[in-house]
Amino acid sequence: MTHRLFVAIKPPPHVIDRLIDTMEGVDNARWQSQEQLHLTLRFAGEVDTPLANDLADALGQIRSPAFDLEMRGVGHFEKKGKPHTLWAGVAHSPALLTLQKSVESACRSAGIAQEKRVFAPHVTLARLSGSAGAIAPFLVEHAALRTDTFRVERFFLYESTLTPKGSQYDPVVAYPLR
């Protein structure tokens, strides 16, 4: 059996509420549901059950302190010059970068190939297709987005299931930060 896995931080409800308040104003955008809002530390991809178990064990070896985080600003990712994702940014956090490096090391020690993409901390707000409306007004309106600082006290291993209504994310294991 295979599992589609990723490692992420789930923002607290008050931050999710603030992000949901921004999610409008772009025609035909596929806005994320509140259950889908997360900050990905590492996408592991499709793995078989033994590798999933090895990954879960390796993540359990991470010893990292809890830390504060804040969402700041919005932006977008492009493919071939066309926007495909709207996101909320994350204020610079050395502790977040340290945790992400530890997660990357755990993935490699479990046997998952090294991530080639540079870590760009964000929370995806919407997916965009070719039929999506203009994003510039959204980007201008929410450029100054800022949430209250929140405490990150755990991270999760999630399983992603693709459904006709979009991806469903289920936490498999929670890992406390000390």
What are the residue numbers of the active site? 38, 122
DSSP string, the chain: -EEEEEEEEPPPHHHHHHHHHH--SSTT-EEPPGGG--EEEEEEEEEEHHHHHHHHHHHTT-----EEE-EEEEEEEEETTEEEEEEEEE---HHHHHHHHHHHHHHHHHTPPPP-SPP--EEEEEE--TT----HHHHHHTTT-B---EEE-EEEEEEEEEETTEEEEEEEEEEE--
Residue 74 has phi, psi (to 5 degrees) of -135, 165
- The count of residues in the chain is 178
Check if the beta carbon of residue 83 is closer than 8 Å to that of residue 125: no
